Amino acid sequence: MSDTGNGSACAKLGELIDGLGGLVDRRGACASDRPVSGVSSDSRQIGPGSIFVAVRGFITDGHLHIDSAIEAGAVAIVCEAYPAELRDGVCYLRVTESRKALAELSKNCYGNASDQLMLIGVTGTNGKTTTARLISSMLNAAGIPAGYIGTGLCRIGNRDIELERTTPEPNGLHALFRQMVDAGCCAAVMEVSSHALVLDRVHGLRFRSAVFTNLTPEHLDFHETMEEYAAAKRLLFSRLTDDGFAVLNADDPQAGFMAAGLPNDYLYCCSLSGNSSLCDSDHRFRAFISASTVEGSTAEVTFGAQSATMQVPLPGEYNVMNMLEAFAVGISLGLDPAKALAGLAESEAVPGRMERIWSADRSRCGVVDYAHTPDALQKALETLRAVTPSGSKLSVVFGCGGNRDRKKRPEMGRIAAELADRVILTSDNPRDENPELILDEVEAGMAGRVHLRISDRAEAIRRAVEGLGTGDILLVAGKGHEEYQEVAGRKHHFSDRETLAACFAEVHFEREVKEQS
């Protein structure tokens, strides 16, 4: 299903024009009582009665598709420059910024549904999905119906809607908000990407809470520098409501930058190291990990003058931090601590996030994780190294995506070579690049370390499973929840989770046959 979901839109053109900021001029048939059926910046989504917003994109300029939109039934065109010829019967609206106009029109077209929801935004490089899903689960368990919007998925009650983007375009986003309100939701928890912030997909939204997970190098093909990337993330904290509050990973060096300018009363700090000086003492959340295995962690949590035990069904310090930040959101909203922790402990595992898949006799463990950045790969390997039994080995299968930041490739090769006992390089989503050239760049960081190179991802996973001994752990990193592999511009079905489970079953069967013979 597309980003737009099934939300219904109905408005009069005059009402939408009245709420349109940055309007410079109007021409043509702009009758106020003219009905509008929807809004989109994609001419392929335009139908009779729609408004087409011409946005200057990175691949194409929406102004080039105005005629196509009109032929598809658009009754109004929003643009930054009028076309050479204006058609009869069409309303033309010239604005200063088309992207913001798209957000404003979408919000109004869907009845300002976002204003009827308590919005909680989660931003950062890693951990957004896990943290946002934890928060939504906690709120639902506490009797606050909450929808979720994030990587690949929108969840409204028991219904899942597939998404193409972490943060949909405004028309799709506000359609989802409308569906949430109609389904009885009181809150929406959403991942907010840096692209969405810079490209005004969340323009006009006000958040009751903004959560910062961490910042590490990523998307530098888009933002170019870490300073620009950090500034993009910080935009979320400028969109808080008057009573809104920020929850920060105080252990991250960028926490202070995110908090700059926000009153102390609205800052809540989470820390595993005790680094929480940004916040008042009663706004500090500290977790001490008392036990950790591949099955999960136990942490003792202090907040203000209170303390509690937190069960984290995932291994690793970063997952303790994810749950600690979700817990801080709950406490800041006034939830009972015991109920908040119970709701978090009952949360469903997020597919492809430290997802464990065992051999039939549970003597060998495979872990599928979305780690596709140097920092995420390092944390995943360090976490699994810490819980790998003495005398057993840690293996990793990974690659790097094409048409993305090339600088991270040798760095990820170096990390794998240093932290894993066995390394198998393979293809990720090569997209439009040559898979072998991508692997060449990954190998450049491995300093000659012995490894296998198998570009066929299914074969690489199988070889890794065949090489596992008792107690060994295998990390399959990079694609996580994804159920496709993109090669030469086409997506083919492929799931690390399915492939790993099938390989465990096949190898176990082959070993049984061999033993019996």
Residues 109 and 36: their CA atoms lie apart, in Å, by 8
453 half-sphere exposure, CB direction, 13 A CA radius: 17
**136 a known binding residue?**
no
* CA neighbours closer than 13 Å in the CB half-sphere of residue 444: 14
Structural contact between residues 344 and 327, judged by C-beta atoms closer than 8 angstroms = yes
Question: Which 8-state DSSP code applies to residue 269?
Answer: E
Element (H, E) at 477: strand 473-477
Per the rule left: phi > 0, alpha: psi between -120 and 50, beta: everything else, 511 is: alpha
Residue 395 known to bind ligand? no
Burial (Cβ within 10 Å: 0-12, 13-18, ≥19) of residue 260: exposed
The annotation status of 499 as a binding-site residue, yes or no, is no
Is 241 assigned to a binding site? no
Q: Is 434 annotated as a binding residue?
A: no
The owner of tokens 């009028």 is 82
Is 3 labelled as part of a ligand binding site? no
356 annotated among ligand-binding-site residues:
no
Q: Which residues make beta-bridge pairs with 394?
A: 473
What helix, strand, coil percent values describe the chain, rounded to 5?
35, 25, 40
Q: Is 130 annotated as a binding residue?
A: yes
User: What is the token pair recorded at 97?
Assistant: 């910024």
In the three-class reduction of DSSP (H, G, I as helix; E, B as strand; rest coil), residue 394 is classed as: strand
d(CA 14, CA 30): 8
Q: Is 128 annotated as a binding residue?
A: yes
Angstrom CA distances, 196 to 62, 100, 193, 200, stand at 18, 12, 5, 6
Q: Which helix (H) or strand (E) holds 326?
A: helix 317-332
Dig out the tokens for 458 from the structure: 């299914």
Is 4 known as a binding-site position?
A: no
Instruction: Check the annotation: does 430 bind a ligand.
Output: yes
Query: Is residue 125 part of an annotated ligand binding site?
Result: yes
Name the one residue in this structure whose structure tokens are 């105080």.
250
The verdict on whether residue 421 carries a ligand-binding annotation is: no
Is 127 marked within a binding site? yes
Q: Is residue 43 annotated as involved in ligand binding?
A: yes
Please choose, from the candidates 81, 91, 75, 73, the residue with its C-alpha nearest in 3D space to the C-alpha of residue 28. 91
Annotated binding site: 43, 124-130, 166-167, 193, 201, 404, 428-431, 478, 482
Annotated binding site for ATP: 124-130
Annotated binding site for meso-2,6-diaminopimelate: 404, 428-431, 478, 482
